Amino acid sequence: MILCSLSTGNLEFYCGEGLLYKSLQISYLETNMSMEKEDKCLSIYGSRKHNYFTVASTVATQIPHTVGAAYSLKMEKQDSCAITYFGTSTADFHAAMNFAAVMEVPVIFFCRNNGWAINTPVHEQFGSDGGVVKGKAYGVPSIRIDGNDALAIYNAVHEARKRAIKEQTPVLIEALTYRAGHHTTSDDSTRYRAIDEIERWRGDQNPIKRFRKWIESRGWWKDVAESEYRSSIRKQVAQAIQVAERIEKPPVADMFNDVYDVPPRNLNEQEVFVRKSSRNTEKIILLMFHCKAIFIFYLSHML
């Protein structure tokens, strides 16, 4: 299966077979960020090895990319499909849906309707009732699920995958949820929404708490297991930080390469400026280093 996703609001964080961030092993990110240029950027990573497209920063552009990837799987008659995750700011969504429906492309559109696009509530984004009706309008089999129910998500994606491959069809899943955190570290969401609302979703509606209740009710999880697991994960995060800190910092030239064939004058001027000023160079290297550290801090903070 090929995965394509958006960088923001899409944090998946698993700890199973080693420490994973957005489905990629931390050790893989650590080594590859210092090896392959296209994988270097912290939140715009990708992985050929894991069939993971480079993350799209421009919202929704990953959706037509995924349809293209899935269409190539169809042309090669592969027993596989592609999946893309996105939020509710979905400009390119429409072209992608139409193409996928008309060309019968094996692709899963996974819309996380978390109620917000930064500070814009969903009712100011859509006149329609969410995203699921749009799928129906394009002739795409569509389902709306409780996005805070881990089992519902598992079942929906499992079925969608089977159907996408067997029937060579796109499938849209709209998972209703809530963005309980701020949009980014520079956002303060209490400026545009009530704290009570946030707390309500963080309480009983929290998907992790709900899933935990379920596995506890089956006798598969206990407080002791939880604390052992947490301390093991803390250790893994601490180790990941140590490894990340040892990674060689990229050369300053990398900031100016690989975007333009012929760099514009202002970029050349900036490069000259940076090279002339050794103090600035140090600051920039430090800044890049801090970006990496913030990323690792963010991971450890999640625990």
The catalytic residues are 179, 183, 192
Q: How far is the CB of 191 from ligand TPP (least distance, A)?
A: 16
- The Cα-based distances of 50 to 47, 107, 152 in angstroms read 5, 17, 25
CB 210 within 8 A of CB 35: no
Taking the least distance from each CB to ligand TPP, the nearer of 10 and 236 is 10
Taking the least distance from each CB to ligand TPP, the nearer of 25 and 113 is 113
Alpha helix stretches (DSSP H) within 126-222: 132-137, 150-167, 195-202, 207-217
Element spanning 113, H or E: strand 107-113
If one asks whether residue 198 binds ligand TPP (CB under 6 A), the answer comes out as: no
Q: What are phi and psi of 63, to 5 degrees?
A: -70, -50
If one asks whether residue 89 binds ligand TPP (CB under 6 A), the answer comes out as: yes
Element spanning 276, H or E: helix 265-276
Q: Which residue's C-beta sits nearest to ligand TPP?
A: 87
**Binds ligand TPP by CB under 6 A, chosen from 3, 69, 70, 117:** 117
Per the structure block, which two tokens stand in for 283?
């600051």
- Nearest 5 degrees, angle CA 219-CA 220-CA 223? 85
**Binds ligand TPP by CB under 6 A, chosen from 3, 29, 70, 87:** 87
If one asks whether residue 58 binds ligand TPP (CB under 6 A), the answer comes out as: yes
State the burial class of residue 285 (Cβ atoms within 10 Å of its Cβ: 0-12, 13-18, 19+): middle
- Nearest 5 degrees, angle CA 51-CA 54-CA 58? 140
Q: How far is the CB of 58 from ligand TPP (least distance, A)?
A: 4
Residues binding ligand TPP: number (CB under 6 A): 15
**Binds ligand TPP by CB under 6 A, chosen from 3, 4, 33, 59:** 59
If one asks whether residue 88 binds ligand TPP (CB under 6 A), the answer comes out as: yes
If one asks whether residue 128 binds ligand TPP (CB under 6 A), the answer comes out as: no
Q: Point out which span in 65-73, 85-93, 126-134, 238-246 binds ligand TPP (CB under 6 A).
A: 85-93
Residues that bind ligand TPP (CB under 6 A): 8-10, 57-59, 87-89, 112, 114, 116-118, 179
